[in-house]
Structure 1
Amino acid sequence: MSTSDTEEGNFISRALSQVIGDKRRWRQYKARVKQLPPDYRAAVDGVERYLMHFGPTDGESATSLFEEVADLFERAAADGTPIRRIVGNDPVEFVDALIRNYEKGGYVAREQKRLIGAIDRAAGKENGATR
Structure 2
Amino acid sequence: MAAKWIETLTGSLEQKKQYKQDKARIDALPEPYTIAAKAMHRYFMYYGGITDGGTLLTMFGDLADLWERAAIDGTPVRAIVGDDPVEFAETFVQAYSGKQWIDKEREQLLKAIDAAAADDTPKED
When normalised by structure 2's length, the TM-score is 0.68
1:54 is aligned, of 40, 47, 52, to 47
How do 1:23-42 residues align onto structure 2 when only pairs under 5 Å count?
23-42=16-35
Residue 77 of structure 1: aligned partner: 71
Q: Distance in 2 between matches of 1:25 and 1:50?
A: 20
Task: State the Cα deviation string for residues 84-121 of structure 1 (Å, max 9, x = none).
Answer: 1111111111111111111226456x59xx6xxx9xxx
When normalised by structure 1's length, the TM-score is 0.65
* Gap regions ≥5 residues in structure 1: 1-6, 119-131
The code of the aligned residue for 1:58 comes to D
Specify the structure having the higher radius of gyration (Cα): 2
Structure 1 segments, 4+ long, off by >3 Å, are 7-11, 105-108
* Gap regions ≥5 residues in structure 2: 111-125
Q: Does 2:82 correspond to 1:68? A: no
Query: Per the alignment, in what secondary structure is the counterpart of residue 38 of structure 1?
Result: coil
Q: Percent identity?
A: 40
Aligned residues: 100
**Greater helix content:** 1
> Could you say what the CA RMSD is over the residues aligned between the two structures, in angstroms?
2.6
The code of the aligned residue for 2:27 comes to K
Cα 1:105–1:37 change in 2 (3 A) is farther
The code of the aligned residue for 1:42 comes to I
